[in-house]
Amino acid sequence: MKLIGNIFTFLILIMSLVFMTVAMMTYATHKNWRAEVKGDGAGKAGLEKMLNELKARETALQDQLQKVQMKLKQERVARAFALSALAARNQLQQANLARLDQENERLVKSEADMKTLLEVAENNSKNLKEEVAQLRTDIKTAQADRDKSFGEVVALTDKVQQYKVEQERLKEREMQMAQQVARMGKVLAANGMNEFTPVDNIPPRLDAKVLAVNDKDMVEISVGADDGIHEGNTLDVFRGDTYLGRIIIKQTQPDRAVGEIIRDYRRGVIKKGDNVYTKLG
């Protein structure tokens, strides 16, 4: 009996667990249909609200459909009117095409007549061109002979005039040369020179500066071979109006020259910045 009691107790325990599991599953699958219809109040829309929104959307779509249908009717009316206008225009164009065909036939006939007249005119034009070409040749020959004669006359006239102008120019140049020779003679005489005086060692007219002086009486100046200075040229040194002495060039460079102070002509101490001039004779 005790064994049977234990078996029943175990069975009761098992059944209790089964019923408890079924109850839990039933609770888990339970839905609050009121909340599903009205909404849960936390932002989730209910079925009733969704239904109202769908009805409102259906109404809007119906209105839009009516508008589209109305617009379609208007488009059909406009299309029918346009087709009528195109049909009328087509009839008008057909009439114009028939008229143009008639005009084309008339123009073809006229073109044939014009071709005949053109052939006649071309033949006449060809004859006239040959005559004109011959006349132009004759005119060009006559003009060439005339131009040649006229050119010879003009050339001879120009040569005579040129000879006269050249003669006057040479006379004027002769007078200028005579005056220039007279002036040069006066300049040479004033400097104790004549036309036979050698000028190879006479430096050109220059205005230079003393760049450096050393204790061996050597002087560097600011002009050189590019300015016409050569070895053996003599130059005078001044400070303002004061004469300081004379140097003789010993060495030249393109833009520099070195000279030695001539003791017999020394009249003062030559320094950097003094003026250097050329002399005649």
Domain residues of the chain, as ranges?
Answer: 207-278
Residue 213 has pLDDT above 90, yes or no: yes
223-276 pLDDT per residue, tens: 999 888 889 898 999 998 899 999 999 999 999 999 999 999 999 999 999 999
| pLDDT tens string 57-66 | 888 888 888 8
Residue 44: left if φ>0, alpha if ψ -120 to 50, beta else—which one?
beta
**13 vs 6: CA distance, rounded Å:** 11
In CATH, what number does 207-278 get? 2.40.30
Which region among 66-75, 187-196, 262-271 has the lowest average model confidence (pLDDT)?
A: 187-196
Range 46-63 average pLDDT: 79
pLDDT, mean of residues 28-54: 64
Q: 33 falls in which pLDDT band (50, 70, 90)?
A: low
This prediction has a pTM of 0.33
Of 66-75, 89-98, 203-212, the least confident: 203-212
**Binning pLDDT at 50, 70 and 90, where does residue 118 land?**
confident
Separation CA 17–CA 242 (nearest Å): 144
140: pLDDT strictly greater than 80: yes
pLDDT mean over 204-219: 87
Q: Is the pLDDT of residue 280 over 60?
A: no
What is the overall mean pLDDT for the chain? 81
